[in-house]
Amino acid sequence: MPVNETLLKKKIAAAQSAFVSNPKSPGQQSYLFVMEDTQTGKVVGTSGIEATVGTQDAFYHYHVGKVVHASRELGVHNSVEILTFCNDYTGVSEICTLFLQEDAREGLAGRLLSKFRFLFMAQHQHRFADIVIAEMRGISDEAGRSPFWEWLETHFFSVDFPTADYLTGIGNKVFIAELMPKYPIYVNLLSKEAQASIGKVHEKTRPALRLLEQEGFRFRGYVDIFDAGPTMEADIANIDTVRISKEATVQISPTLDITLLENYFIINTKIAGFRGCVGQLKSLDISQDTHTVLISQALADTLQICHGDTIRYASTHFTSRT
């Protein structure tokens, strides 16, 4: 996020509006969540979902493809990678704005901050597109210099990476359309450093990438136009947390012994008043049509729910993919 108070206030206002909206289909809603340390009341993380991208402002990517130069007469056949400027992800949903303070990166906090979004989308699928993407941070050094952008800057932009990133962050994307090369770029013409960075993530982003790969997200050849970081993609219905999650009615038990129970990622089913956490529950399968779980009063208070309300949950131990 750029250091711009006006813009940040606008984003917060947009999120507040999203949580009281009632769309029939994916629109311009921008959902921004915060993680709170309930013992201190301190905000320790953020996470977000864009219902759709690219429908108001252009949403740019490079697609990594191939072109073949061949001559049967000369016996020459060369396959060359190219980068094609595109808007192919227009209209999809995006998970974004994931950040967790360093002193909070213990236990299940990081996984909760990522995975609760999939429970939210599973519960309210009509608010989101069928395809979900996540743009991953690409390679850059400690000063914020990207080898990929440095090559583009030298030949096309004359604007450094932090400036370009800031301008895009505040919504000024006109310069991209004006200055970005319109024709495919031959990858072998880039610097060796720029070539090596295409589709690679920053070392601090590797844990987040692994989480998404475990959920079923895959790289389809689309990279960021600034640092060439990969964009990961999945169908909502095929995301593992979405697929294994269950909805249940709650009963509150004042005598529930949580010490023997498994941890779950749990959300209430609200939009306004949404809450999510890691907690323990006991499943009671009363019939094929009704699924009920027992939870403690403390967990009910955290989720701001009452006896008879519904939750959606998924096990913290589920890792079907590697």
Q: Which residues are catalytic?
A: 202
- Cα–Cα distance for residue pair 269/308, rounded to 1 Å: 12
d(CA 68, CA 79): 4
DSSP letter assigned to residue 158: -
Please, where are the H alpha helices in the chain?
A: 5-19, 109-123, 147-152, 161-169, 174-179, 192-197, 206-215, 240-244, 297-303
Rg (CA), the chain: 22
The pairing of beta strand 291-295 with beta strand 246-252: parallel
C-alpha–C-alpha distance, residues 268 and 123, integer Å: 9
- Give the long-range contacts of residues 109-113, CB within 8 A, separation 24 or more: 109/35, 109/44, 109/45, 110/207, 110/211, 111/211, 111/265, 111/316, 112/35, 112/265, 112/276, 112/277, 112/278, 113/35, 113/45, 113/47
